[in-house]
Amino acid sequence: MGSAAAPRGLADDLSPFLKRYTDGTYERLNDTPYVPPTLKDPTTGVSSKDVTDVSLLARIFLPEITDLDEKLPILLHFHSGGFMVGSIFSAVDLKYLNALSSETKTLIVAVEYRLAPEHRLPAAYEDSESALKWVFSHAIENTQIAKDPWISTHGDFSKIFIHGDSAGGNIAYNLSMRISSIPLPGNPKISGLIIIHPFFFGSIPFAGEFEGDVKQNLAYRIWSICYPNVPGGIDSPFLNPIAADDASLSAMGCSKLLVAVAEKDALTARAVAYAEKMKKSEFPGNVEIVVSNGEDHCFHVFDPHGENAKILFDKFSEFIHS
């Protein structure tokens, strides 16, 4: 008789994202079942639909319009979830992005990027590039890529913004840093970058980040699973923009930057330090910092109709439409 299989033990608890077991398997702790898009959301009036292109999974959100030819700023969005959980097809994101599209009067292209640990970084970064290429393909003639009529009809290609929450903020930031090296169709320009509670980290702590052994910190353990072989580890410029030199920071491929933070969020100090470093760099655009007092990490995603979420969305709208 063969020997019995060894019992599965817990190797690492990465709550609230996932658990890793000694047999090499993972268990996601945030189930995000698919929720279909809505033709017209009863609360916001926003319509949504899915894109299931061969190279792209996304959901598009179109706010109510009065002019059939009205052009709207385009918001390329990346969701939160520690690179490991979350979905733009979930009930949480449907409610959040309906509210965001309505409050900011933007056409949102939300990207369903590949998740770690099945698809470790840079997979999500590669998906962000594919999504940006797809959006810009709508602005040129004779492209062989299937175009979406909402984007072609209502997208204002002179006002394209990259937007992300938490890990999505990290993806958005890194996409903006690589734009000049990405072969994009046409003559693209990114109007601005909006990163909310961005997932940045590093070996030297900022106030409120961590105490004791950095290797025991959740952010360290997440990054070690999601991008285990990246040069520089947790001080890679992909994760720690504070470690980047001023010359590379100033090469960001957009004309202005908004960094949103929450008072109670452990990630706030590093995000503010990054924004301040950008202000002192040779980056030619305007840099804004928005602080949500009394709030914690990604509060606006889970309570998009709350008072402070509306204040935050108003800041986004002002940044986008000014």
Angle, CA 255 vertex, CA 174 and CA 226 arms, to 5°: 10
* 296 belongs to the catalytic site: no
Active-site residue identified among 47, 87, 166, 292: 166
- Please list the residues that pair with 163 across neighbouring strands: 77, 194
Please give the full DSSP string across 5-60, using - where no structure is assigned: PPPP-EEEEETTTEEEETTS-EEESS--------SS-TTT--EEEEEEETTEEEEE
Regarding beta strands 107-111 and 72-78, do their DSSP bridges make them parallel or antiparallel, or are they unpaired?
Answer: parallel
* 265 belongs to the catalytic site: yes
Residues of the chain by 3-state class (helix, strand, coil), percent to 5: 30, 20, 45
Active-site residue identified among 191, 265, 281, 300: 265
* Residue 49 CB neighbour total at 10 angstroms: 15
Kindly report the three-state secondary structure assignment for every residue of 191-257: CEEEEECCCCCCCCCCCCCCCCCHHHCHHHHHHHHHCCCCCCHHHCCCCCHHHCCHHHHCCCCCCEE
* 180 belongs to the catalytic site: no
Catalytic sites, residue numbers: 166, 265, 297
